[in-house]
Copies of this chain bind each other. A is one copy, B any other.
Amino acid sequence: MSVIMCPGFKAAGVAAELKKKGKKDLGLICSRVPANVAGVFTKNRVKAAPVLLDMELIKSGVCQAVIVNSGSANCCTGEQGMRDAEAMASLAASELGISNDLVFVASTGVIGEPLPIEKIKTAIPDLVKSLQPEGIPDLARSIMTTDTVPKMVSAQGIVEGKTFTVTGVAKGAGMIRPDMATMLCFVCTDVGAASEILKETLVKAAHRSFNRITIDGDTSTNDTVLVMANGLSGAVIRSVAQRDIFQKVLDEIFLDLAKQLIRDGEGVTKLVEIMVRGAVSDSDAWKVADTVAHSPLVKTSFFGEDANWGRIVGAVGRADAKVDPDKIDIYFDDVQLVKAGISCGKAVEAEATKVLKKSEFVVTVDLNMGRGSDLMYTCDFSVDYVKINADYRS
């Protein structure tokens, strides 16, 4: 994967023995200078210690480094967990020679077990020494749990004739549902932007990407998305037009990472876009898309490559939205399977089955009642999802 590392940032990932088999499990990303920062965090009422810490730190709007571990979520760990998160930040800050409150923390892994802070402490000097401009793949690997591939992406934009770069990494393969923001994601850019502008752009981009994906419908306690902008490119976002340019690049980065998350979802074999149109309102369209995207029966039929559209209609009908069963049209890509609530025939179903054999396709539900539309990205529900999650801790 050819990912351009954003100038002015370095990253690293090392093995601190938090995970098994010498895998990388401790990561660091660091800007040459303090960067403006914006973030969104899990809406789960149960929040991990690092999330609580970052929610305090981000009030300053400034961040220079993020230290992150996998293997332990440092969640449901009480006061000791909070002390451990703070220690993780201050140990990294001290090694980097910067102020404690410039270092954010993130964790991912098993909930309820104490953070092995001694192992982290031991590994931090090596972690800081490993920082390098090409360190993004190491960072991306260090945050993986059930992920099978590292997830990263980069893109560039131009404002005032100056090129800026945006580079993002993310992790997440299970406990993924759209409730802002369903995984870890760190984005660094050398654009210059006030933290308020960053926040606004980030929220919009997340709404169209991370808030539109689901794997299993469970919300993590550790979700964190951070965007750091250090301004070193000289390109500065001020006007609305400049903001639009940055928004477009960030949208692209977020949506690309969001789709990477689903493709690598636990046991996933298919990425499916559920497009709902013709709803009375956008909000109704979203409710229908969300219900279809989460239905175990719909998701298992995707896995079975069975064009069992009755299950889609069943899910549409139980969504909390205005629906007239006799008006529903359903398409698999451009194959229309259902017209006005009834089957278009067995021949068409055979065509639809061909669509289902693809690894990515679109299911369109047209309610034919209004102009509201929205979409969700989901995946199939496979035997391997169950196997992975039945054995996760063993």
Interface residues of A, Cβ cutoff 8 Å to B: 43-47, 73, 75-78, 110-113, 174-175, 177, 179, 216-221, 294-297, 300-301, 303-304, 306, 308-311, 313-318, 323, 325-326, 328, 338, 340-343, 381-383, 385-387, 389-394
In the assembled complex, the CB of A321 is this many whole angstroms from the nearest CB of chain B, namely 8
Which 3 A/B pairs are nearest by Cβ-Cβ distance?
A111-B310, A304-B390, A46-B317
Give Cα A295–Cα B175 distance, bound, in whole angstroms.
10
Complex partner residue of A112 from B295, B323, B342, B385, CB under 8 angstroms? B342
Copies in the complex: 2
- A297 and B112 in contact (CB under 8 A), knowing A314-B218, A316-B46? no
**Are B112's CB and A392's CB within 8 A?**
no
**Are B310's CB and A76's CB within 8 A?**
yes
In the assembled complex, the CB of A123 is this many whole angstroms from the nearest CB of chain B, namely 24
* 14 sampled A-B residue pairs with Cβ under 8 A: A46-B316, A47-B325, A76-B313, A76-B325, A78-B326, A111-B310, A111-B313, A175-B297, A217-B295, A221-B314, A300-B385, A303-B386, A382-B386, A383-B386
For A391, list chain B residues within 8 Å (CB).
304, 306
**Are B76's CB and A338's CB within 8 A?**
yes
Interface of A, secondary structure class, is loop
Interface-central residue, A216, A311, A314, by most chain B CB under 10 Å? A314
Give Cα A323–Cα B390 distance, bound, in whole angstroms.
27
**Are A218's CB and B295's CB within 8 A?**
yes
11 further contact pairs, Cβ within 8 A, besides A179-B318, A296-B389? A44-B317, A46-B316, A46-B317, A46-B328, A112-B343, A218-B295, A218-B314, A219-B314, A221-B314, A303-B386, A383-B390
Give Cα A342–Cα B73 distance, bound, in whole angstroms.
13
